[in-house]
Structure 1
Amino acid sequence: MYKLLGGLKDYLKWQDIVTDNAVFRLHNLFTTVLLLTCSLIITATQYVGNPIQCIVGKGLPTHAINTYCWITSTFTMPDAYLREVGSQVAHPGIDNDYGEEDHKKYYTYYQWVCFVLFFQALLCYLPKYIWDTLEGGLMRSIVMGLNIGICREEDKCNKKKVLLDYLLRHVRRHNMYAIRYWICEALCLINIIAQLYFMDHFFDGEFFSYGLRVMSFSEQAQEERVDPMVYVFPRVTKCTFHKYGASGSIQKHDSLCVLPLNIVNEKTYIFLWFWFIILATMLSLLVVYRVVIIAVPTVRPYLLHARNRMVPREVAAAISRKTDVGDWWILYMLGRNMDPIIYREVVAELAKKIETAASNTP
C-alpha cells in the first residue's frame, strides 16, 4: 500500500516560496491527493476483495454472471428497506419485484467510481496549474533568496537594492497579478460547488443530503429508520440474467450479488461529503474576505501590519495609501516569504522612497 500511494507525497511537500493561500492549497493539493488516494484504493481490488460476487443457480457460470452484473447494473426494491430483515426480507432492499420495473432502483455507478474520483482530482488541481502558469515564478524571482536571514551583508544590501528598484519601477502595475490569483481562488469555489452538484447527479439525487441523513440515522426510531449508507451504497443487490434454454425459450435467472466494494465506497463518500462541505464553506469565506480587501482599502494597513508586527502601523498605512491593491498584495506576499527583519527594512525604505517621489511630483 505504501508503494502504491507513496508517489502522492510529492504533492504535499513543503514549499520554500509561497504564492498562494492555505485554503487555496487545501483545495488544490490536499483535496487532489485525497481524491487520487481514494481512486487508487478503490481501483486496487486486491486490497478490498472482489468488487462483486453473485450467487447463481446450478448450470450457470459464476464468473460470467459476476461479469455481466458488474458491467450492466444491479438493483434493489426501495419499498423493501422498511421491512424487517430476516422475517419479511432477506436483506435490506431485497424483495420479489413481481415484474414491476418502475419500482426498481438500479445501481450503475460502482464501475465508474474510480474514474470519477480521478477526474475530480484533475479538476481540483486545475486552478493551481492555471495560477502557476500565470504567476510565472515572479515571487521567487523578486525574493532572490532573502527568505534566509543569514547571509553576507554585501549580498543582502545588493538584493535589497534590486528589489526596491523593481518595486519602485513597477508601482501600480501589479493589479493584474493580484486579480488573476483571486480569480483562481474564486475558480476553486466554483469547482467545489459544481462537483457537489455533479456527485448529487451521479448518485441520482442522493448525495446532497447524504451526510445529514447519516448523522440523523441514530436518532430515528429503530422500526422507522433506513440506513442511508446501505440505501445509497447497498451491500447486497439483485441482478437478472436471461439465457436461452434447451428448447430455445428464454429463461430468467435472479441472482443475489454481494458488493464488498460498497463498504469502501460508503466510507469514502461520507468523508468526502463532510470535507467538501467544509472546504466550500472556507472558500466562500475566503472569497468574501478578498472582496473586503478590494472594496475597503482601510483594512489593508492592518493586514500588512498583522503580516509582520515589526512593520510600524504608520509605515503600513503610508505604503497602502500610496500603492494600488496589486502592489499591496505583492508586499503582503513578500511578508510571507522574506526574512522578517529584512522585510521590515525593505518596507521602511520603500515607504520613504515612495513619499519622496510623491512629494517631488508637481
Structure 2
Amino acid sequence: MFKLLGGLSVYFKYQPVKTDNAVFRLHNVFTTVLLLTCSVIITATQYVGQPIQCIVGGGLPANVVNTFCWITSTFTMPDAFAREAGKEVAHPGVMNEYDSSQEKKYYTYYQWVCFVLFFQAIMCYTPKYLWDAFEGGLLRTIVMGLNIGVCHAEEKEKKKEVIINYLIRHERTHKLYALRYWGCELLCLINIVLQLWMMDAFFNGEFFSYGTRVLGYSEVPQEERYDPMIYVFPRVTKCTFHKYGASGTIQTHDSLCILPLNIVNEKTYIFLWFWYIILAIILVLLVIYRLIIIFVPTVRPRLLHARARTIAMEAAVLVSQRTDVGDWWLLYMLARNMDPLIYRELISELIKRMGEKSGARA
C-alpha cells in the first residue's frame, strides 16, 4: 500500500517560497491528493476484494454472470429498505418485484467511481496549474534567497537594492498579477460548487442530502430506520440474466450480487461530503475577504502590519497609501517570504525612495 501511494508525497514537497495561501493549498494540494488516494484504493481491488460477486444457479458460469452484472447494472427495490432484513426481506433493498409498490432503483455508477474521482482530482489541481503558469516564478526571482536571514551584509544590500529598483521601476504594474491569483481562488470556489452538483447528478440526486441523512440516522425511530449509506451504496443487489434454454426459450435467472466495493465507496463519499461542504464555506469566506481587500483600502495597512510585525504601523500606512492593490499584494507576499528584519529594512528604504520620487515629480 505504501508503494502504491508513496508517489503522491511529491505534492507535499516543501516550498521555500510560497506564492499562495493555506486555503488555496487545501483545495489544490490536499484535496487533489485525497481524491487520487481514493481513486487508487478503489482501483486496487487486491486491497478491497473483488468488485462484485453474484450467487448464480442453473449451471451458469459464475464469472460470466459477475462480468455481465458488473458491466450492465444491478438494482434494488426502494421500499424494501424500510422492511426488516431476515424476516420481511432477505437483505436491505432486496425483495421480490411483485411484492414491491415502487419501481426498481438501478445502480450504474460503481463502474465509474475511480474515473470520476480521478477527473475530480484534475479539476482540483487546475487552479494551481493555472496560477503557476501565470505567476511564472516572479516571487521567487524577487525574493532572491532573502527568506533566509543569514547572509553577508554586502550581498544583502545588493539584493535589497535590486528589489527596490524593481519595485520603483515597475510601480503600478502588478494589478493583473494580484487579480489573476484572486481569480484562481474564485475558480477554486466555482470548482467545489460545480463538483458538488456533478456528484449529486452522478448519484441520481442522492448526494446533496447524503451527509444530513447520515447525521440524522440515529434520531429516526427504530421501526422506521434504514441506513442511508446502504440506500445510496447497497451492499447486496439483484441482477437479472437472460439466456436461451435447450429448446430455444428464454430463461430468466435472478441473482443476488454482493458489492464489497461499496463498503469503501460509502466511507469515501461521506468524508468527501463533509470535506466539500467545509471547503466551500471556507472558500466563500476567502472570496469575501479578497473583496474587502479590493474595495476597502483602509484595511490593507492593518493586514500588512499583521503579516510583518517588525514594521511600524505608520510605515505600513505610508506604503499602502503609495501603492495600488497589485503592488500592495506583492509587498504582502514578500512579507510572507522574506526574513522579517530584512523586510523591515526593505520597507524603510522603499518608503524613502518613494518619497524622493514623489518630491522629484512635484
Establish whether TM, by shorter chain, passes 0.5.
yes
Corresponding letter in the other structure for 1:236: V
Mapping for residues 14-53 of structure 1, pairs under 5 Å: 14-53=14-53
Q: Secondary structure at the match of 1:349?
A: helix
Identity of aligned residues (%): 70
Q: Give me the whole-angstrom Cα distance separating, in 2, the residues matched to 1:300 and 1:63.
A: 66
- Counterpart mapping for 1:85-96 below 5 A: 85-96=85-96
In the alignment, the residues of structure 1 paired with residue 114 and residue 237 of structure 2 have an alpha-carbon distance, to the nearest angstrom, of: 20
Give CA-to-partner distance per residue, 1:56-84, whole Å, 9 cap, x none.
01311100000000000000000111111
Task: Write the mapping of 1:286-301 to structure 2, written as runs, cut at 5 A.
Answer: 286-301=286-301
Shift of residue 163, structure 1, vs aligned partner: 0.4
Distance 1:73 1:91, change over 3 A: same
2:70 counterpart of 1:70: yes
Aligned to 2:266: 266
What pairs with 1:8-157 in structure 2 (closer than 5 Å)?
8-98=8-98, 103-157=103-157
1:163-220: CA deviations, max 9, x gaps? 0000011111100000000000000000000000000000000000101110110111
User: SS of 1:109's equivalent?
Assistant: coil
- 8 Å contact kept, 2:147–2:337: yes
Residue in 2 that maps onto 1:328: 328
Q: Matches of 2:5 and 2:223 in 1, distance apart?
A: 42
Query: Counterpart of 1:89 in 2: which secondary structure?
Result: coil
Q: Which residue number corresponds to residue 244 of structure 2? A: 244
Distance 1:114 1:61 in 2: 27
* Aligned-partner residue type, residue 205 of structure 1: G
Secondary structure of 1:255's counterpart equals strand
SS in 1 for 2:151: coil
Asked whether the equivalents of residues 315 and 348 of structure 2 are also in contact (C-alpha less than 8 Å), the reply is: yes
Once residues 220 and 360 of structure 1 are traced to their aligned partners in structure 2, the CA distance between those partners, rounded to angstroms, is 76
Which secondary structure state, in structure 1, belongs to the residue aligned with residue 4 of structure 2?
A: helix
Cα deviation code 1:303-333 (max 9, x no counterpart): 0000011110100000000100000000000
Deviation per residue, 1:90-135 (Å, 9 max, x gap): 1000011139896100001000000000000000000000000000
In the aligned structure 2, how far is the partner of 1:280 from the partner of 1:87? 43
Per the normalisation by structure 1, the TM-score is 0.99
Separation in 1 of the partners of 2:174 and 2:55?
66
- How far apart in 2 are the matches of 1:99 and 1:234? 19
Distance (whole Å) between structure 2 residues aligned to residue 49 and residue 95 of structure 1: 26
Instruction: Work out whether 1:208 is the aligned partner of 2:221.
Output: no
Look up the match of 2:282: 282
Report Cα offsets for 1:214-243 as digits up to 9, x if no partner. Answer: 011011111111211000000000000000
Any runs of at least 4 consecutive aligned residues in structure 1 with deviations exceeding 4 A, and if so which? 99-102
Distance 1:183 1:99 in 2: 55
- Distance in 2, matches of 1:104 and 1:50, equals 25
Q: Which residue of 2 aligns with 1:198?
A: 198
CA-atom RMSD in angstroms: 1.1
The letter of the residue matching 1:292 is: I
SS at match of 1:146: coil
CA distance in 1, matches of 2:52, 2:46: 13
Tell me the CA shift for residue 264 of structure 1: 0.2
Q: Give the Cα–Cα distance (whole angstroms) in 1 for the partners of residues 340 and 299 of structure 2.
A: 21
Contact 2:65 2:241 in 1 (8 A): yes
Which residue of structure 1 aligns with residue 166 of structure 2? 166
5 Å-filtered alignment, 1:299-310, equals: 299-310=299-310
**How many angstroms apart in 1 are the aligned matches of 2:190 and 2:36?**
20
Evaluate the alpha carbon distance shift between residue 45 and residue 54 of structure 1 in structure 2; reply closer, same or farther with a 3 A threshold: same
Amino acid in the other structure paired with 2:294: I
Quote the residue 1:312 is aligned against.
312
Report what 2:225 is aligned to. Answer: 225
C-alpha distance in 1, partners of 2:179/2:323? 15
Secondary structure (helix, strand or coil) at the match of 1:27 reads: helix
Equivalent residue number for residue 3 of structure 1: 3
Query: Aligned partners of 1:224 and 1:352: how far apart in 2?
Result: 74
Structure 1 unmatched runs, 5+: none
What is the distance in 1 between the residues matched to 2:124 and 2:99?
44
Give the match's secondary structure for 1:237: strand
What is the SS of the residue equivalent to 2:88?
A: coil
